[in-house]
Chains A and B, each alone.
Chain A
Amino acid sequence: MDLSRRDWLKTAALGAGALAAPSGLRADAAPRPHFTPRARHVIVLYMSGGYSHIDTFDPKPRLIREHDQSIGIEEKAAVSGQPKVERFLKAPLWEFQPNRHCGAEVSDLFPHIRGQMHEAALIRSMHADHRDHGEATLQLHTGSTGFALPSLGAWLSYGLGTFNPNLPSHVVISEHRPYNGPQIWDANFLPAIHGGVQVRPGAEPIPHLKARQATELQDLELDLLQRLNRRHLKSADNDPGLAGRMATFDTARGLRDLAPKALDLSGESRATLALYGSRPGDNASYAAQCIMARRLIERGVRFVEIIDAVGACRDNWDAAHRDVGSHAKYAKRVDQPIAGLIQDLKSRGLLDETLLVFCTEFGRTPWAQDGKGTKSRNHHPSAFSCWLAGGGVKGGVIHGATDDIGHLVAEDPVHIHDFHATILHLMGLDHERLTFRHAGSDFRLTNVFGHVVDEIIA
C-alpha cells in the first residue's frame, strides 16, 4: 500500500498537476485519501498578527487578582540589544462568559462566536517555535520557521486533488499582503497547480481572469489556438505533454466563466446576508468573504483560507507596542460573520463535511510589555488558543490547558506540527505518509514531528 501509494502520488503529481489531463480524465486521476476522511473541505480563518489568548479564549482569574503585580525580571531580553524587562501581570480587558450549551468560556470580544462554541473543539495548549511574526506565520502555514516550504493548502490539494477542475483547488482570500506574502500559500516544490490562488475581494478578484476583449472574440481566438494545437499534436505523435497543456486553456475558459459566479453574492438572500452581518451590494467585507468561502466549497474547492487583516501588516491583531484594546476593532469585524458561517454551513448540511480552523500565529504575554501599567502585550509563542469546528470534530470540548497565568502550556501541549497532523487526519491523510521528494529528501508538512490530537476527534 505504502509504495504503491507513493508511486500513485508521483503519477498524480504529473497527471493531475504538472500536465493536467483533459478535463474528463482529471477527476479519475485525482489522488485518494489514506483512509476515510471526516471532512471534504477546509476553511481556515486566520487572524493575522497574533490575538491574545488571555483576552479571548483562555480566562485567567489570577491576572485580575494580581493585576500590576510583578512576577520578576525576564530571563532573557525579548529583543536582543535591549535591557531585560520586569514582568507586571496585566488583567484581561474583557469579561468572560460561558457558552450556554457547553460552558466554554469566551470573552466579550467574541459574543457571537461564543454562542457557537458548542460546535467547536477549543485547544488552549497551542505552542509554536518563533516569536516573530514572519517566522511564526510561516510555521503556521508551512510547518517551517526558516525555509519556505509548501503550504498546508498546497499539501491538501496535492494529497486529495480537487472536486471541480474548473476552479482552483486552493483559494486564499486576502485583501492585503500578509506577513511573508504569497509564500504562505505557495506550492513551493509541489506542482504549481496546488499553490493557492489569491482572491482579492473587489473588481478583479483573480489575476488575469477578465478577458480584454469580448468573450465571443476570445472564444474564436481559443478555437483557432486549439485548431493549431490539434494539428501540431497530430504531427507530434499525440505527445501527452502537449495534450495536457491544451487542456489548461479549457480549464481557464471554465474559470473565466465560473469564478465570477462563485464570487458573486447577488443571489444570496437577505436573510443569509443578515446572518453574516452583510448587506446587498457588499462584496468586500469580512462577512462577504465568509459567504464567498461557503460558495467556493459548495462548488468543490478543497481548501479556502481567509486572511484577516484590515490593512497591510501593521493594521492587524498585533498588539506589541500598541494598546491591546485595539483587539476590539478586529474582533467586531470577524465575530458575527464567523458565527454566521458556522450556522449557515450547518443549516445547509455542509458543516459535517467542512472543517473550520480558527487560528493565529502566536499568543500574547500575560504581562504588560513595557513595564507596570503599560498597555501592550508582546508576542508569545509558548502558549495560545485556536479552535476547530465541523467535519469530524468533537463539539463543545476544551483540550489542553495553560498554567494559572497563561504563560506556559501545563497540559496536553499541541504544537503547530500536531495541529497540522490533526487537520490532515480529519481530511483522510496520514501526515507521515504524505510526502514529496525534492532536493534529495522526502519532505512532509510535519517534518519529522507531529501527533494527531485524537481527543478532539468525534
Chain B
Amino acid sequence: MVIAISLGIAVALFGEELPAPSTGSSAHWSFRPVADPTPPGVAAVDWSRSGIDRFLAAAHKANNIAPVGPADRRTLIRRAAFDLTGLPPTPAEADAFADDPADDETAFAALIDRLLASPHYGERWGRHWLDVARYADTQGDVGDFPIPYAWRYRNWVIDAFNRDMPYDAFLKRQIAGDLMAETESSPEAAAESIVATGYLAMARRFGNTKDKDMHLTIEDTLDALGRGILGLTLRCARCHDHKFDPLSMADYYGLYGVFESVRYPWMGASDAKSPSDLSPGMPGREHREKVDEYFRLITRYEYQMNNHFRPWLKPTLDAYRDVMKRMAVAKKAGGDLTALEKERGRHLKFRGGRFRELMLHGLEWIKKEKRRLGENPPYEFAFAVSEGRPRDTRVQVKGDPNNLGDATPRRAPEALGGDSFSGSGFSGRLELADWIAGADNPLTARVMVNRVWALHFGRGLVSSLDNFGAQGATPDHPELLDWLATRFVEDGWSMKQLHRRIMLSRAYRLAADRPEANLAADPGNRWVWHHPRRRLEAEAIRDTMLFVADRLDTRPGRGHPFRPWHSRRYSLNAPFNEQFPTLKRSVYLMTQRLFRHPFLGLFDGPDTANATAQRKTTSNPAQALYLMNSEFVRTQSLVFADRALEQDGSPDDKLQWIWRRAYGRDASTEERAFAEAHLKAFKATAEKRAHLEREAWASLCRAVLTSNEFFHVE
C-alpha cells in the first residue's frame, strides 16, 4: 500500500504536457536578485508623476490600449475606504471628501492618511495576513480542539499593521519570536514576540494522536511559509524532487529539519485530550521547566483516565486490590509484610509505573487532581512554539516517514543560496528568519508587494500570487514589480508607505468603465486600463450590513467564550463545534477548521486549513436563499428600516437616507419611483396588517442590502 503518498497532497500532474523546467535553475526570473530599473520617460503629463504610472503608461503604449478616465470622488472614497478599512465611508465623510476644495491629489492624499491612521486599517489588512497564515481558532484534528489563546496572535497581527511594523521584523517575529524574546526591550515586547510565533504554532493538526502525523503538520508549516511568504510550492518536493522548480527533496528536508527541531504546542488530541507544550509566554529556562513539569503531570493523569477500563489492565488492578486485602489481613494478624510489599511494588510498576496513582489513590483522585491543575495554570499560556531538540533530519523516501533515506543538513534551498541553518546549536529558525527577511532574498519583498498590489487592483503584477516558480504565471510587469520591491525595502519595509505609493498613482484612481475595445483587447485587465469592479469579501459584506444599520460594535475583539479545556473532551465522535455570535467585526469571529462559519463559509470566506492565495468569488443560489430568508439579514433589514423611519422629514427624505448610507450617494428619480411603487404594492398585498409600515420598509431595506451595488465596490 502507498499510504504515505496518498496521505499527502496531490502531486503535480500533467507533467508530460508542460514544458520541462529550465535547467539553469538560477535563470528563473524570481530567483534572480531584485533589480532597480528606472521608470521610463512618458510624454503624457497625467501619467508622468509617479514611477508606477510611468511603467504602466509605457505598457499602455506598447500594447496600444487607452486607459479610461479617473473615477469620481464618491466612487474613489468608497473604493479607498473599503480597500483600507473594509468599511464604507459614512455619508458625512463622503460629502466632506466630495466637497473638499483641495485639488484631487491633495484631497486624496489626506484621505489615505486618515484611513491608514484608523484602527480599522489593521483589522482589514491583518485579516489579509491571517488568510496567508491560515489562521483559525481550532487545530483541525478530528476533534477540532479549540485554541483559546489563538486570538492573541490574531490581535498581534492587527496591532502590527496598525503600528506599521516593518514587514521584515513582522516576519522574523513570526518565525523566531521566542528566540528574539530574550533581547526585546521590555517584558511586554518579549511576550508579544513569543505570541507572534503563533504563525508556526497554528499549523494544522491531523488525525487523533499528537505524534503520528507530525510530518503532515510540518508539511503544512512549510506550505504556508513557502506559498505564503516565498511564493514557492515547497510541498511539491516532499515525495520527489520538484518537477518544475529547482527544489530537490534535500531542499525540502533541509527546511523540514528546522521544524522537526521545534516543539509545537497542543491543546489536545482524541487519544490524549489535555494540552501540552504550551509556552509560559515569557523567556527563561526556569519558566519552561516549570511548565513542562506541569504538563508532564497532566499528561500522566490523562493517560490513566483514558485507559483505566482496558481489559489488559484489569488483571493487574484486580491483583493489586487483592494484595492490598491480604496486606490488611496480615497487618491485623501482625504477620510479616515484606513479601506482600514486594508484590505490591511489582504491580505499581506495571507498564513503567504509568498506573501508579490509579492504584494508590483511585480514579476519582486522579480526576480531581487533573481538574485542580487545569484550574490553576502556573502561567498565562501562549499558543507558541519553542525549541525542541535541534537536529538534522533524514529524507523521507517517497514522503513516507517510516522509510528514511540520507541525512540532510538544515539549510536554505540550494538554488537560493543554500545558507546553512545547522550551526547554531538551536533549531535554526533565527537563521531561517534572517535569510527569509533579508533584503537580498529575491522572493520575500517581491511576493509581498505583489500581494498588496493584487489586493488593491484585483490582480497581481504576477497573477499567481503564491507561485513564483516555473509553474506560476510570468510577470505582466516585471520591471514595475522590481521597482516597487526595491522601494519597499528602501522605505524600511513600511506597509503604510507601500499603500501610499500605490494608491496615489493615477492607475489606482481609474474608473471602472468597460469600453468594448479594451475588453476585447485585454479582458483580464493585464495592462491596468481600468479599475475592475469587485464583489466585497465575506467579512466586508457582513460588517457593512451591520455598519449601515448602525449595529456594528467597532471595539476590538478578544478571546472567545470556550469552555475551559479541562471541562470538555473532544473526539471524532464529538468534535468541537460552536459559533459564538457577536456584533463585532468579522475578523473577530471565532473560525474553525473543520466547520465553516455559516456566513463566512457561504460567501467565500477564508480557507482556514490552507494558506489562501487569493479569495475566490462565487455566486450561487444558496447565497441568494440566505439573503432572502435568513434571520441575520432579516434582523439587519428591520433595524435599518427602524433607523430610517426615525429620521426626520418626508418618506422621500428617509429613502434618501437609506441610499446615502448604503450606497454613499442620493437615489435617482427612477430608483425613488421603484421604491415608492414597492412600498405601495407591499402594503396593498400584505394580509397581516400589524407593523405594516415597518415590514414594508424592511422589505425595501433588504432589497438594498442584497443588491449588486451594495455587494460590489468599483
Binding site for B on A (CB under 8 A): 2-3, 17-20, 79-83, 127, 129-130, 132-135, 139, 143-149, 168, 179-183, 189, 191-193, 197, 206-214, 216-218, 220-225, 227-229, 231-233, 236-237, 239, 241-242, 244-249, 251-252, 255-256, 312-314, 370-371, 417, 432, 435, 439-444, 447-449
A210 touches B629 (CB 8 A): yes
A82 touches B628 (CB 8 A): no
Q: Cα distance A179–B611 when bound, in Å? A: 24
Binds A, one of B317-325, B546-554, B679-687: B679-687
Closest 4 CB pairs of A and B: A252-B624, A440-B233, A237-B514, A313-B573
Question: Of B207, B604, B708, which is within 8 A of A245 by CB?
Answer: B708
Q: Cα distance A80–B206 when bound, in Å? A: 16
Chain B positions 235-279 with a Cβ under 8 Å from a chain A Cβ:
236, 271
A224 touches B629 (CB 8 A): no
Any chain A CB within 8 A of the CB of B156?
A: no
Q: List 18 A-B contacts (CB under 8 A).
A: A80-B212, A82-B310, A130-B3, A134-B572, A144-B6, A191-B618, A217-B699, A225-B703, A231-B670, A233-B708, A236-B512, A236-B533, A241-B619, A252-B624, A439-B610, A444-B10, A447-B5, A449-B6
Any chain A CB within 8 A of the CB of B580?
A: no
B707 touches A228 (CB 8 A): yes
Query: What residues on B are CB-neighbors of A189 within 8 Å?
Result: 607
A448 touches B699 (CB 8 A): no
Task: Specify the chain B residue showing the minimal Cβ separation from A149.
Answer: B10
Any chain A CB within 8 A of the CB of B305?
A: no
Tell me whether A134 and B624 are in contact in the complex, defined as CB-CB below 8 angstroms, given that A214-B687, A314-B573 are known contacts: no
Q: Cα distance A135–B686 when bound, in Å? A: 52
Question: Of B236, B575, B624, B708, which is within 8 A of A242 by CB?
Answer: B708
Task: Specify the chain B residue showing the minimal Cβ separation from A192.
Answer: B618
B708 touches A134 (CB 8 A): no
Query: What residues on B are CB-neighbors of A241 within 8 Å?
Result: 533, 535, 617, 619
Question: Of B17, B206, B682, B686, which is within 8 A of A146 by CB?
Answer: B206
A217 touches B629 (CB 8 A): no
Question: Of A132, A183, A242, A448, which is within 8 A of B572 by CB?
Answer: A132
Query: What residues on A are CB-neighbors of B681 within 8 Å?
Result: 220
Q: How many residues of B contact A (CB 8 A)?
A: 99
Tell me whether A441 and B311 are in contact in the complex, defined as CB-CB below 8 angstroms, given that A214-B686, A313-B573 are known contacts: no
Q: Cα distance A207–B469 when bound, in Å? A: 42
Question: Of A20, A79, A229, A232, which is within 8 A of B620 by CB?
Answer: A20
Any chain A CB within 8 A of the CB of B72?
A: no
Any chain A CB within 8 A of the CB of B477?
A: no
Over the window 615-656 of chain B, the binary record of Cβ atoms lying under 8 Å from chain A Cβ atoms (1 yes, 0 no) is: 011111111111011110010000000000000000000000
Q: Cα distance A217–B688 when bound, in Å? A: 11
Query: What residues on A are CB-neighbors of B514 within 8 Å?
Result: 236-237, 239
B213 touches A146 (CB 8 A): yes
A129 touches B1 (CB 8 A): yes
Q: Cα distance A220–B686 when bound, in Å? A: 11
Q: Cα distance A82–B310 when bound, in Å? A: 9
A134 touches B207 (CB 8 A): yes
B708 touches A447 (CB 8 A): no
Chain A: minimal CB distance from B213 (Å):
7
Query: What residues on A are CB-neighbors of B6 within 8 Å?
Result: 129, 139, 143-145, 417, 447, 449
A146 touches B7 (CB 8 A): yes
Tell me whether A212 and B711 are in contact in the complex, defined as CB-CB below 8 angstroms, given that A81-B307, A129-B7 are known contacts: no
Chain B: minimal CB distance from A259 (Å):
10
Q: Which of A144, A213, A237, A439 has the most chain B CB atoms inside 10 A of its CB? A: A439
Chain A: minimal CB distance from B678 (Å):
4
Query: What residues on A are CB-neighbors of B223 within 8 Å?
Result: 439
Question: Of B9, B271, B671, B687, which is within 8 A of A441 by CB?
Answer: B9
Any chain A CB within 8 A of the CB of B111?
A: no
Tell me whether A448 and B685 are in contact in the complex, defined as CB-CB below 8 angstroms, given that A236-B533, A245-B619, A440-B227 are known contacts: no
A218 touches B14 (CB 8 A): no
B621 touches A248 (CB 8 A): yes
Q: Cα distance A221–B686 when bound, in Å? A: 12
Please name 7 further chain A to chain B contacts, defined as beta carbons within 8 Å, in addition to the given A220-B699, A225-B707, sorted by A numbering. Answer: A192-B620, A197-B622, A214-B687, A217-B682, A217-B686, A371-B311, A441-B9
A245 touches B628 (CB 8 A): no
Query: What residues on A are CB-neighbors of B674 within 8 Å?
Result: 224, 227-228, 231
Task: Specify the chain B residue showing the minimal Cβ separation from A239.
Answer: B533
Question: Of B472, B610, B678, which is within 8 A of A221 by CB?
Answer: B678
Any chain A CB within 8 A of the CB of B12?
A: yes
Chain B: minimal CB distance from A27 (Å):
15
Any chain A CB within 8 A of the CB of B216?
A: yes
Task: Specify the chain B residue showing the minimal Cβ separation from A413.
Answer: B1
Query: What residues on B are CB-neighbors of A229 within 8 Å?
Result: 707-709
B613 touches A251 (CB 8 A): no
A435 touches B634 (CB 8 A): no
Query: What residues on A are CB-neighbors of B310 within 8 Å?
Result: 82
A208 touches B271 (CB 8 A): no
Query: What residues on B are CB-neighbors of A371 within 8 Å?
Result: 311
Task: Specify the chain B residue showing the minimal Cβ separation from A14.
Answer: B618
B471 touches A252 (CB 8 A): no
Q: Cα distance A407–B434 when bound, in Å? A: 54
Q: Cα distance A231–B515 when bound, in Å? A: 18
Query: What residues on A are CB-neighbors of B469 within 8 Å?
Result: 440
Tell me whether A444 and B621 are in contact in the complex, defined as CB-CB below 8 angstroms, given that A82-B312, A134-B572 are known contacts: no
Q: Cα distance A432–B5 when bound, in Å? A: 17
Any chain A CB within 8 A of the CB of B700?
A: yes
Q: Cα distance A252–B633 when bound, in Å? A: 16
Question: Of B623, B700, B709, which is within 8 A of A224 by CB?
Answer: B700
A448 touches B13 (CB 8 A): yes
Question: Of B13, B613, B671, which is within 8 A of A442 by CB?
Answer: B13
Over the window 687-714 of chain B, the binary record of Cβ atoms lying under 8 Å from chain A Cβ atoms (1 yes, 0 no) is: 1100000010001101110111101101
Task: Specify the chain A residue showing the minimal Cβ separation from B679.
Answer: A224
B625 touches A252 (CB 8 A): yes
